Amino acid sequence: MKSLVLVCVIAISALGESPRAKTVEATPVAGESWLKHLHRTFEETSMGKTGRLGPPHAIGGEENSDWQKALSAEARNETVTLHGSDLYRLNCWGCHGEFGIGAPPEINSVLNPTRAMSTQVILERMKNLGMDMSRADAAVLANQSKAALLERLHKGGTDMPPFPHLSEPEVGAIVAYLKQLAGIPGAEREQAAVEESRVRVGEHVVKSTCHICHNATGENPSPQQIFNGAIPPLSTLTARTSLPEFERKIRSGAPIVMGTPPSPFRGRMPVFYYLGEDEVADAYLYLRLYPPDGTVPDPETPATEQKQAANKAVQVEFSIEPTTVGPPNNGRDLTVIIFPVAAALLLAGGFWFTLREIRRLTAVSETRKALMSDGSVAQHAILSASNKSRPRMHAVTHPNDDAGEAADHDDEPSFHHDDYHIFESSWLTRWLERKDEAA
């Protein structure tokens, strides 16, 4: 009896325990940066720049010796718990920002695509628009939106890089957090967490944030090349900087040696203040334990050369340049000039035509008033029009009448209603009447 109870207790305990997800093995970062893949310069985009510029670190400052992370192979076995908010911060924040609104028009918001995954939200929107929709039809639309969002995460888009390094549990945790970020009802109950190794955390940071601007491998640029816009590859970062310098550069900002002669400058790299010290150390550990792979060939077409004017590099002693990134020109200045000029010409032409018509109609109206008020003028005009539009009617004299009476009778005007109709009729009507009379 006691054995049976013990077996039941063990079975119930086993059922109550949730299986722990297996950690995903990290892989080296490889290939060119996403900006180079898009043939887009650092100055032409907001990708990876939702951070901000921080104050430059004082030259010759002492390093914090209390914070030193062990970079041993045993560190890869240490695990941490990451929630959906953490995975979003490590993978998505760099472009879409803290609240998922992105940087329009280049980087779209993730909120509306996420809301389109909710059947309840779709029904409420249709109701507000005065349209009836069944729950089944709304569920179909929601499933289609979810499939599109998952495909975008795995395969990327026109400007969005793919995230093939994300596992299914990680994607599920990110999507659950996106629902909470978008304000979908009940999203709080869907939040999930995954167990990750420290190296895996560093892989998220490097592949989703650093690799946007930094190539995986390449030659270590000289100070003058960096001044001209070159970005050091990921393979040289651990050789160029120590772990404390690496952490300070990413989270707080630190000077970099640029130009000829080499001088300290603030540089162009934004500050990723939302990353923790441990997460930056995990990125450094990942680059050390999994060196970037240089065997993956880059596309043959070279990317546009990075350009950075000398006057944009701000020295440490002076003020800090803001991180605002303007959109590419692409002929927009010419469009901005042409459209207002064309609109002004159209308005002026319309005003001139309206004024001309008003004057013409006013003159016609005044002429008609004069004709109606002056009987002799109207009669003369009517007779002129009548004589032109039909054959002249000669006076018929009686044999007993004298010549003088015949002349007076011939010159006497004869006004008829038809004459007034002919005068007021259009030229086409008069022409048709003349044809009829001639026939």
Together in a domain, 244 and 304: yes
**Which range is least confidently modeled, 41-45, 236-240, 283-287, 322-326?**
322-326
Q: Above 70 in pLDDT, residue 309?
A: no
pLDDT at 115: 94
pLDDT at 43: 87
pLDDT at 350: 85
Local structure of residue 303 (DSSP, 8 states) = P
Residue 58 falls inside a structural domain: yes
Local structure of residue 299 (DSSP, 8 states) = P
Residue at 251: amino acid letter: R
Taking the C-alpha atoms of residue 258 and residue 266, their distance in angstroms, rounded to an integer, is: 9
Together in a domain, 198 and 252: yes
Q: Above 50 in pLDDT, residue 409?
A: no
Residue at 158: amino acid letter: T
- What backbone phi and psi angles, to 5 degrees, belong to 418? -65, -35
The encoded tokens of residue 165 equal 């390094």
Average pLDDT over residues 3-24: 49
Mind giving me the DSSP string for 57-84? PPTTPPP-TT------GGGGG-EEEEEH
Taking the C-alpha atoms of residue 267 and residue 130, their distance in angstroms, rounded to an integer, is: 54
Q: List, in sequence order, every residue forming a beta bridge with 271; answer none if it has no partner.
A: 52
pLDDT at 187: 93
Residue 405 falls inside a structural domain: yes
Mapping DSSP to helix (H, G, I), strand (E, B) and coil, where does residue 307 land? coil
Q: List, in sequence order, every residue forming a beta bridge with 265; answer none if it has no partner.
A: 256, 315
pLDDT at 280: 94
Q: Above 50 in pLDDT, residue 15?
A: no
pLDDT at 439: 65
Dihedral sign for Cα atoms in the order 350, 356, 358, 360: negative
* pLDDT-derived band at 305, boundaries 50, 70, 90: very low
Mind giving me the DSSP string for 240-276? HS-HHHHHHHHHT---EEETTTTEEE--SPPB-TTS-
Residue 352 falls inside a structural domain: no
Together in a domain, 197 and 268: yes
Together in a domain, 289 and 388: no
The residue with greater pLDDT, 318 or 3, is 3
Closest CA to 406 of 394, 416, 418: 394
- The residue out of 328, 361, 387 marking a domain boundary is 328
Region of 118 please: left (phi>0), alpha (psi -120 to 50) or beta: beta
Domain that holds residue 79: 21-107+159-328
Together in a domain, 318 and 213: yes
Beta carbons of 205 and 165 less than 8 angstroms apart:
no
- The residue out of 295, 328, 361 marking a domain boundary is 328
Beta carbons of 244 and 293 less than 8 angstroms apart:
no
pLDDT in tens, 214-268: 999 999 999 999 999 999 999 999 988 899 999 998 998 888 889 899 898 888 8
Residue 420 falls inside a structural domain: yes
Angle at 390 between CA 386 and CA 394, to 5 degrees: 90
The residue with greater pLDDT, 158 or 65, is 158
Together in a domain, 390 and 319: no
The encoded tokens of residue 144 equal 């289609």
Together in a domain, 264 and 204: yes
The residue with greater pLDDT, 317 or 414, is 414
| Neighbour count for residue 96 (Cβ, 10 Å) | 22
Residue 42 falls inside a structural domain: yes
Together in a domain, 192 and 252: yes
pLDDT at 404: 47
Average pLDDT over residues 200-213: 95
* pLDDT-derived band at 307, boundaries 50, 70, 90: very low
Alpha-carbon separation of residue 216 from 18, 235, 419 (angstroms): 38, 6, 96
Together in a domain, 278 and 165: yes
End-to-end CA distance of the chain: 130
Looking at the chain, the whole-number percentage of residues with pLDDT higher than 90 is: 41
Together in a domain, 86 and 179: yes
pLDDT at 234: 95
Q: Above 90 in pLDDT, residue 415?
A: no
* pLDDT-derived band at 281, boundaries 50, 70, 90: very high
Residue 153 falls inside a structural domain: no
- Determine whether 349 is exposed, middle or buried from the number of CB atoms within 10 Å of its CB (0-12, 13-18, 19+): exposed
What's the structural domain count of the chain?
2
- What backbone phi and psi angles, to 5 degrees, belong to 103? -135, 75
Taking the C-alpha atoms of residue 140 and residue 123, their distance in angstroms, rounded to an integer, is: 12
pLDDT at 335: 58
Looking at the chain, the whole-number percentage of residues with pLDDT higher than 70 is: 64
Taking the C-alpha atoms of residue 109 and residue 113, their distance in angstroms, rounded to an integer, is: 8
Q: Tell me which residue has tokens 């020109």.
A: 329
Taking the C-alpha atoms of residue 172 and residue 250, their distance in angstroms, rounded to an integer, is: 28
Q: Above 50 in pLDDT, residue 288?
A: yes
Residue 122 falls inside a structural domain: no
Beta carbons of 284 and 246 less than 8 angstroms apart:
yes
The encoded tokens of residue 214 equal 């930094």
**Which range is least confidently modeled, 96-100, 116-120, 124-128, 412-416?**
412-416
The residue with greater pLDDT, 129 or 333, is 129
Taking the C-alpha atoms of residue 214 and residue 249, their distance in angstroms, rounded to an integer, is: 15
* pLDDT-derived band at 24, boundaries 50, 70, 90: confident
Together in a domain, 419 and 284: no
pLDDT at 427: 59
pTM (whole model) above 0.75: no
Q: List, in sequence order, every residue forming a beta bridge with 103; answer none if it has no partner.
A: 107
Average pLDDT over residues 360-382: 64
- Determine whether 285 is exposed, middle or buried from the number of CB atoms within 10 Å of its CB (0-12, 13-18, 19+): buried
Residue 1 falls inside a structural domain: no
Q: Above 60 in pLDDT, residue 22?
A: no
Average pLDDT over residues 285-309: 62
Average pLDDT over residues 103-130: 92
How large is the C-alpha radius of gyration of the chain?
A: 42
Taking the C-alpha atoms of residue 309 and residue 235, their distance in angstroms, rounded to an integer, is: 26
Together in a domain, 313 and 416: no
